[in-house]
Amino acid sequence: MLRVNLLNYSKKSLDFDLQILRSLSYDLKTVTEIDNVLRDNLTQIVLDTCPEEHLLHSEGLVALLYLCVAIFKESDLDLMPMEIVVSSDIPMGAGLGSSAAFSVALAGALFHLQNGLKRRSEDEEADRYVICKWAFKSEKIIHGNPSGLDNSICTYGGIMSYTTGQSLKPINNSSSAGNSSCLRVLLINSCVSRNTKALISHVKENRINLMPKVTASIFEAMDRVAREAAETVGKLLNNNNNSYSTRHSHDQSLFHKLEELVDANQGLLASLGVSHPSLERIISITAQQKMHAKLTGAGGGGFAYALITPWHTDAQIDQVKMDLESEGFVCWETKLAGDGVKYSRN
């Protein structure tokens, strides 16, 4: 039996028949392609097995079963009885990369198990490459056509930049991930549900089609802001001296520039019509404590983040949290540019 527990959604476990899963055929594909026949067969198994409450997450369950079956078959091993427990501090479906975190954690756990059974030598970089490719296949099952950015960041850590048609580029040196060179942010849930398809349609109809030259200029400006921000973040992280317990005048100018870029990007996004009154209220509240915030993800609700610099005091951070929560928003502090996938034992 293969047992799956989705702790964030149900206390009831899901059980899948090992013999059925072992009997499925698998056509070995490239490192980025998936076996569509296996995916379709697993989709039917999920539909036949799962109660309706779990079908909202059917793509994730199909991805989980796909990795279980494919990883073991590629290793010429029989899929073994196991229990997989999935829990997350990240809200799912909120545009925060929860599916990539899920995919990388699952691929890492299964690959680690496979390595133990095969008694292979340890090579962390080679392992991460394989984990990232399996996670990308999982993301393809869940999303259809992912960029590969989210699963790469979850695997390797740090911060990366992505331009369509180009390879991913690490912004910070790999040696800086996991040390004090992290960016602190407040992640804020507006508690307003978002509709990505509707937002895309709005931008297309009321911006791109209606005023294409103006919209092209907005997109060009956003591209320049993103490139400036990537360069600025890279300098901050690679300085290796932006500890939040110390302050440096050079870093202060870089943080100030990053704050202004956050404001510029938010203004451009608002001009496209993808902001929301709740997001503007979040920005107003954080500004009272001299924090700079912007929407993240698709917009139209969803999440925003506020940048925390070494010059923000604990009193300011605590106050802005209280002010946000008093108006019904949910927030918590986190760090960017941390470690990638890691193994741990309870």
Tell me the average confidence (pLDDT) per consecutive run of 10 residues in the chain, 346 residues long: 82 89 88 90 91 75 95 90 88 80 94 76 82 95 87 90 83 53 89 82 93 96 96 84 61 94 98 95 98 92 94 96 97 88 77
In a domain, 15, yes or no: yes
pLDDT for the residue 177: 44
Assess whether 142 and 210 both reside in one domain. Answer: no
> β-strand 14-16 against 292-296: which pairing, if any?
unpaired
Pair 34, 100 in one domain = yes
pLDDT confidence of residue 108: 94
Helix (H) or strand (E) holding 275: none
Is 17 part of the annotated catalytic residue set?
A: no
Rounded Cα distance, 126 and 75, in Å: 16
Is the CB of residue 91 less than 8 Å from the CB of residue 298?
no
Q: Report pTM.
A: 0.82
Tell me, yes or no, whether 34 and 183 share the same domain: no
Q: Are 179 and 338 in contact (CB under 8 A)?
A: no
Torsion angle, alpha carbons of 3, 98, 31, 161, to 10 = -170
Q: Is residue 166 part of a domain?
A: no
Domain endpoint, select from 96, 127, 156: 156
**Domain end: 126, 156, 186, which one?**
156
112-125 in b/e burial notation, b at 16+ Cβ within 10 A?
A: ebbbeeeeeeeeee
Residues 68, 181: one domain? no
Same domain for 117 and 183?
Answer: no
Q: The domain containing residue 140 runs over which residues? A: 2-156
Instruction: Residue 130: give its domain's CATH number.
Output: 3.30.230.10
264 CB contacts (<8 Å, ≥6 apart)?
Answer: 221, 225
Establish if 163 belongs to a structural domain.
Answer: no
The catalytic position among 35, 127, 150, 251 is 150
Residue 282: how many CB atoms within 10 A of its CB? 28
CB atoms within 10 A of CB 140: 20
Asked if residue 188 and residue 144 are part of one domain, the reply reads no
Same domain, 66 and 191: no
Question: Over the Cα atoms of the chain, what is R_g?
Answer: 22
C-alpha–C-alpha distance, residues 139 and 145, integer Å: 8
Within a domain: 223:
yes
pLDDT attached to residue 178: 46
* CATH assignment of the domain containing 324: 3.30.70.890
Are residue 188 and residue 314 in the same domain, yes or no?
A: yes
- Same structural domain, 182 and 289: yes
Looking at the domain assignment, is residue 180 inside a domain? yes
Residue 339, sorted as left (phi over 0), alpha (psi -120 to 50) or beta, turns out to be beta
Is 183 a member of any domain? yes
Q: How many residues does the chain have?
A: 346
Q: Is residue 162, in this structure, part of any structural domain at all? A: no
Q: What is the pLDDT of residue 179?
A: 47
What is the spatial distance between Cα 131 and Cα 133, in angstroms, rounded to a whole number?
5
Q: Are residues 183 and 217 in the same domain?
A: yes
Dihedral sign from CA coordinates of 208, 213, 215, 221: positive
- Verify whether residue 40 is a known catalytic residue: no
Phi, psi of 333 (to 5 degrees): -95, 140
Measure CA 153 to chain center: 8
Task: Report how far residue 219's alpha carbon sits from residue 203's, in angstroms, rounded to the nearest whole number.
Answer: 12
Q: Which helix (H) or strand (E) holds 224?
A: helix 212-239
Is 184 in the same domain as 332?
A: yes
| Same-domain pairing of 202 and 145 | no
Residue 132's SS3 state is helix
Domain-embedded: residue 35? yes
Active site residue: 98, 99, 138, 278, which one?
99
Number of domains observed in the structure of the chain: 2
